[in-house]
Chain A
Amino acid sequence: GQQVMQIPQYQHVQEGEDFTTYCNSSTTLSNIQWYKQRPGGHPVFLIQLVKSGEVKKQKRLTFQFGEAKKNSSLHITATQTTDVGTYFCAGPENSGGSNYKLTFGKGTLLTVNP
């Protein structure tokens, strides 16, 4: 079945440093979604990427979707303590486009030292 892998598993940074997490799928994806889960919380949707090579920005967060639509990355510029949490990428198992069944990666846990 489809596998979604994320690296690194953990990342500890000093506040103000940049952070990047990478996501790779074993299959071509119609789209990819990113979620953030704060400690003790539930996953919260951040963004969805659909087009090959797409880049989207949300303030200090930059999301990229690879040209082959098999990989993605999330980059945070100048991390803040509010960025702490686990970042998950997720791709639909149904390559037809519906996201009804998302496969999540194991996530990257980001901790920020103030």
Chain B
Amino acid sequence: DTGVSQDPRHKITKRGQNVTFRCDPISEHNRLYWYRQTLGQGPEFLTYFQNEAQLEKSRLLSDRFSAERPKGSFSTLEIQRTEQGDSAMYLCASSLSKGINSPLHFGNGTRLTVT
């Protein structure tokens, strides 16, 4: 078990630029989640995949955000035309779909700073 891996760890970008983050889940996990966390807050749900299917996307997520999980393995999260309000820690998590007993395993996150 090598854990959930996220890349990059840090990203500084200028407002208006596009950014893409990658997440490699634990290999046998079929569920993958993206969360966003700002200072002093708990993780906020963004989107969820079961295998390659994106089953839910938060209503809070604007159309500038898109996520993919081709082949049900790694996932990417793209933010287009970044805004300063997008600055946050983006956390990826994975889990097994074993009923209710499937805790989330989080990666170390990608910290995005939009200047």
Say if A and B assemble together. Answer: yes
Residues on A facing B (Cβ under 8 Å)? 4, 30-31, 33, 35, 41-45, 48, 50, 88, 90, 92-93, 97-107
A99 lies within 8 A of B102 (CB): yes
Contact A43 B45 (CB under 8 A): no
Q: How far is the CA of A42 from the CA of B43 in the complex (A)?
A: 10
> When the two chains form their complex, are residues B104 and A42 in contact, meaning their CB atoms are under 8 A apart?
no
Whose C-beta in chain A lies nearest to the C-beta of B35? A104
Binds A, one of B18-26, B48-56, B66-74: B48-56
Q: Is the CB of B45 within 8 A of A88?
A: no
With contacts A42-B108, A100-B55 taken as known, whether A48 is within 8 angstroms of B101 at the C-beta atoms is yes
Known: A43-B43, A88-B42. A102 touches B107 (CB 8 A): no
**Judging by beta carbons under 8 Å apart, are A106 and B41 in contact?**
yes
Please tell me the number of chain B residues within 8 Å of chain A, measured between CB atoms: 27
Query: Within the complex, what minimum Cβ distance (angstroms) separates B42 from chain A?
Result: 3
Bound Cα distance from A7 to B48, whole angstroms:
28
Which residues of B pack against A, CB within 8 Å? Answer: 31, 33, 35, 40-45, 48, 50, 55-56, 91, 95, 97, 99-109
CA distance A102 to B106 in the complex (A): 13
- Report the bound CA distance from A97 to B102 in whole Å: 11
- A23 CA to B103 CA, complexed, in Å: 18
Which residues does chain A contribute within 8 Å of B108, judged by CB atoms? 41-42
Residues of B within 8 A of A33 (CB): 103-104
Contact assessment for B106 and A98 in the assembled complex, using a CB-CB cutoff below 8 Å: no
A43, closest chain B residue (CB): B106
Given A50-B101, A100-B97, 7 new contacts (CB under 8 A):
A31-B100, A93-B45, A99-B100, A100-B50, A103-B45, A104-B42, A106-B42
